Structures are given as C-alpha cells and as structure tokens.
Structure 1
Amino acid sequence: MKPYLLLLCILFSHIVLSQESESIEERELSAVVVNAQTDKPMESVHVINLNQVVGTITDDKGQFKITAAVNDTLYFSFLGFKSQKIRVTNDMFKFQNTKIALTELAYALEEVIVRPYQLTGYLEIDVKNLPINNAYQYSISGLSVGYEAGSKSPSAVTKVLGAIMNPADLLRNLFGKQPNQMKKLRKIKEDDQIRDLLASKFDREILTELLQIDKVDIQDILNNCNYSKSFIKTANDLQILDAISSCYEDFKVLNRQ
C-alpha cells in the first residue's frame, strides 16, 4: 500500500503546484466597464494594474484588455465617478468580458465668493497686488529632470544629505524601508496611460495606491526635499511623481556615498 500512497502524494503535489503556477501566470484579461445606474458602457475609463504597473483605457464599448495575474489589483478611475479597486480572480479569466460597474458621484456645489482685484489703474501698483503662483516647474532640453521656480532652495541636495546622516529621518525611513515600492517610480513614468492620468489628477489618490504610502508621507517627503508648500499644494500628480522620483534618485546617490 505504501508505494500507492507515495504515488498519490506525488500526483497530488504535482496538481497543487500546477494550479499555483497557473494562478500567478500573467495573462491578458478582458472586461467591460459600465455605469452602475444605467448599465451603459463607459468610454475612456482609466484602468491601472497596481501590481504590474501598467495602464490602459476603455474603448467606445467600455471594453479593455490588460496584462494581469490572479490576485492582482485593478484600479478604475473616471471623472465624476467613484474610483474602484477590483481583485483579479480565476473566474475573470474563464468568463471573459466580466462587467465592472462604476458609481456616479453626487457633487454638492458650495457657495463661492468672488473677490475682484482692487485695481487702481496704475500699473506699478496693480502688478504688486496680483497673486503670484510660485508652483511652476520648468523643463530644459537636455536635462532629464525639471526644476521648480519660486521658493525652492538651492540647498535641497544638502538637506537630503543631512537627512541621510540622521537614521531617524523620514526620508531614510520611507525610502530605506520600502525600496520595492520606490522602484515602481520608474515603471510608472514609463507608462504613457498612467502618466496621462496623473497629469489630470490633483488628489494624490492614485499615487498613494501605486506607491502604498499615505498622503501625509508624500507631503513629508517633499518637505524634506525642500519643495515649497505652494508647489506641494497646487502641483498635479504627475509633477508630484517627478518630484518624488528626483528626490529618490538623490537619496540613492548620496546613500551609496
């Protein structure tokens, strides 16, 4: 009886290992995004695989295809609709064109008080009274990174160096303890669909999902890299991503030294 039991154990182990290998295999997943209220297909919905760091958008029939594996998390985003995360299952591969419904948000318009500029007619005086936005970032041909205008200090690298010298500093804690999440920065920047989506967002929601860090951590990282409060508050998510990436690259270089 023992040889038979041994054979059964071997066969059982082989089946289990085969199932596990199939479950983690990356395949092309097809599904449809619809409006939960009307059941109509939704076009141009952004779909991001948070694990593989790839993105796509739905076509005019609400359909999309994306590379995924079982247990990957898909993130769906569309203006005016509640963002949603879906865990990929085996059934989604077996039964193609699974319907994924997004719920429309109800926006409450708040009272807005318009304060006109108090213009005097004298250019020298009126120019001084106009608000100045110091949150611009500029790109120069030939340089791989941009720079921030306004109150960003030229001693930003020095501040990063000081952060590395202090083992308790937030930069070292975040970048040092989560290297895998920070490695996603490069992959995110290489995907055009994700970059286009981030360029239109200002809520940091997608960044927190992709990097698995809190909004407070993002703000603290940029504070430690000496970005201005104005930039942190008004920049879009793509600008924030580029700023974090620049800060992380400085950290890696200085940390090796």
Structure 2
Amino acid sequence: MITIVNAQEKRTILKGKTILNSLSISDVHVLNTNTNIGTITNDNGFFEIPVKLGDSILVSHVNLQEKFILITNKILSDINFTISLNEKTYTLNEFTLEKPRSIFYQDKDITTYQGPVVNATTLNLPYVNTQPKKDNSIIKFKSGGVISLDNLINSINGNKRREKLLKKLVAEDDDLLKIRKKYTDDFFITDLKIKKEYINQFLNYCIDKNIINIFKSDNSIKLTTLLIREGKIYPHKILNEDLFLTKK
C-alpha cells in the first residue's frame, strides 16, 4: 500500500520565474495549495517547486496581486515557465472636505451640556466689542534705535501718509546699518575723530548729505570722501539719544 500511495503522489519539479513588467521579482512566495509545500523566488526571480497535473499554486507578494495557477500539461512541458504579476492597487473611500472648524466647535450630536451660554457678551464684560488697534507710535529699528512717531510727525495728517513715512524711516535705518557695518569703529574714531557714542548719530546727520544714494551707487571712494568731509564739520552735539544706533 505504501508503494501505491507514493506512486500516486509522485510529483515533478516545476521550474519557473516571476516577473513584473519584464523585470524579475525576488522574495515572491510560491505555494502548492494541494501539498502546502512552498518556496520563495531568488534574487533573479527563479523558483522550483514539486507539482503534478491538477495541482494549484498560489503566487503572492506583499506589494503584488495574488495569482492562482492550475498546473496543466502545457505548464509541465514548458521549460521557460514564466509568471507575470501585477501591482496592487489601493482604492480609498470617498470623502468630502468640510469647512475648517474652530477648536472650540461643539458637535450638537454629542454635546450634552444644556446650560446657559457663557461668553464675554453674556457676562457683559467691558469693551467686549472693542477691536484692538495696532500702535505704530513707538517703533524700534533693527539697528537698535527707538523713536516716537507721534512726536516726529504731529504735522502730518492721515494714516496712509503716516505709514508711508514709517516705511521710509525703516528703509533709511536699514541702509545706515549697512553703512555702519561697512566701516570699522577705528575708521570713525581715529580717522574722522568721532567718538564711538556719536557714530550712529553722525550717520543720521549725513542723511541730508545724500549718503544713502551714494551708498546705493556702490561708489566706495565717493562714500568715504563724504564721510571724511562731513566728519570735519560735524558738530558733535547730542541732539536726540533715541536716534542712537549704538550706545556706549
């Protein structure tokens, strides 16, 4: 009886290859579902598995679609048996984008609190409808100076003109800071005879001497000549400490 069973269960070795878009695939599981005997393809996509006519093999890979193959005489006689696999496709459930909600939003379906509404309005808090107004009266420049616009432009009416002047002052301050960094302290102190605490006030003084336009023209000789000329006649008098870009 053992001899008869062995004869009936005799299988041949099926050699094959797995591919995806003509490229070999490694680590593909090939399982004979009739015997539960399986194997894995090598780096070149080849595998060997015992089968007989009528067996079914399951070919699977984590990123590929499973494939069942029924063993036929044609497959057994094919010396170049190749299994072509397909990539898995994932379909997401349809969803609808809704309007963004505040972190304080309460879903009416799950909200259990039925008490009175408590907020600034119901509590009659003072200034509940007051909108904060941006204060541009005091500004601090990148270079360190602090200036009061209210004192500087009392004669100017209108917010637009006020903001325009503010932008001009900020732009001038940026340019003066660049000029300040272009020269060393020793140049101002030794060559121009200007004390360190007066350097930035001196640069502000030179605004009316067209120093910014000369700096933007990238003419270092003309800029240095201007500083030397104006340094000789600079009054060395503290006019407004708030305009200092550097303090001692």
TM normalised by structure 1 equals 0.32
Query: Greater CA radius of gyration, 1 or 2?
Result: 2
TM normalised by structure 2 equals 0.33
Higher relative contact order (CA 8 A, sep 6+): 1
